[in-house]
Amino acid sequence: MAQREELTRFLKAARARLAPADVGLPAGERRRTRGLRREEVATLAGMSVTWYTWFEQGREVQLSSAMIERLGRALRLDPKEREFLFALAQHRPPPLSSSPDETVRPSTQALMDSLSIPALVIVEDWTVVGWNALVTHLFRDYSAMPRIERNLFRILMVNDRYRADPERYREMARRLTARFKWDYSRTAKPEVFDVIIADMKEQSDLFREYWEEAEIRSYFEDVNSATLPDVGEIGFHHTSYAIEEVPGQRLILFAPADPTSAEKLRRVADEVRAGG
């Protein structure tokens, strides 16, 4: 009940802060209260007035995710307010934004640059949009790659570097596909994923096999390695974390997998800091 009362308060406050001119409506006659009327919000959101009124009053009505999205746009909600509306209305996070933010915040970049381990940022379709110097030194120089070639899912699935151990590659591909399937289920722009899926079906027998299976993963953790001529192999555990300030972005951290790898990585990090 308390959540429904909060939903009512939130929607009324969002209506009240908007003038008709803010949303392209004529001001009309003088209003007794400031803000948009319920019927105006309903029209902007493509809903019936009765349905919107019941929803704002906190009655037991269920709106689809698409209807909540339209309502959020009608009320000019920012990303945090959109997330709040979904939490109150559906008790779960919203689908990922249809316009993912690919700008890495300065604070996130500063965090990655301060670390002595590789770190990168991906957006919902797994395109790499941020990285630190250790990623460039140990894995690849993303700055030299056009965006279309920076899709981490494609790289991991088709790059020969990851196929040296067939069994390990098979297990990695299975986990990758299960996580990619989870992200596909949440996106507001499935057509972006559809292009990658079609491409992978042409290029990877394993992808076709695992895509037809029922397994999904809401998280992704795995091990990988990098080999440098003068250092040898460094093993990593990697995992990802949602960046709260930017829905759709994930920070992936690569921690050394064992003491030997930790010592090798420390030497490499010292080199990179020294500009070597």
pLDDT tens digits in sequence order for the chain, 276 residues long: 678 889 899 999 999 998 888 877 776 666 667 788 899 998 888 888 998 999 999 888 788 888 888 899 899 988 888 888 988 888 877 766 555 678 899 999 999 999 999 999 999 899 999 999 999 999 999 999 999 899 999 999 998 888 888 898 999 999 999 999 988 887 877 888 999 999 999 999 999 999 998 888 887 788 888 888 889 999 999 999 988 878 789 999 999 999 999 999 999 999 998 875
Q: Compute the residue count for the chain.
A: 276
What is the number of H-type helices and E-type strands within the chain?
A: 12, 5
Whether 35 and 54 have beta carbons less than 8 Å apart is answered as: no
Whether 19 and 39 have beta carbons less than 8 Å apart is answered as: no
pLDDT, residue 152, reads 95
Whether 209 and 176 have beta carbons less than 8 Å apart is answered as: no
CA–CA distance from 91 to each of 42, 65, 150 (Å)? 22, 12, 34
Q: Could you write out the three-class secondary structure of 147-211?
A: HHHCEHHHHHHHCHHHCCCHHHHHHHHHHHHHHHHHHHHHCCCHHHHHHHHHHHHHHCHHHHHHH
pLDDT, residue 132, reads 97
Q: Which two tokens stand for residue 223?
A: 């091990």
Whether 42 and 49 have beta carbons less than 8 Å apart is answered as: yes
Q: Which DSSP state fits 127?
A: B
CB atoms within 10 A of CB 95: 19
Q: Which DSSP state fits 269?
A: H
Domains in the chain: ranges and CATH: 2-90 (1.10.260.40), 106-273 (3.30.450.180)
Q: Which two tokens stand for residue 205?
A: 């027998």
Question: Distance between CA atoms of 75 and 54, rounded to whole angstroms?
Answer: 17
Strand-by-strand arrangement of the 119-122 sheet: 128-131, 119-122, 250-256, 232-242, 221-228
Q: Which residues does residue 251 pair with via DSSP β-bridges, in sequence order?
A: 121, 241
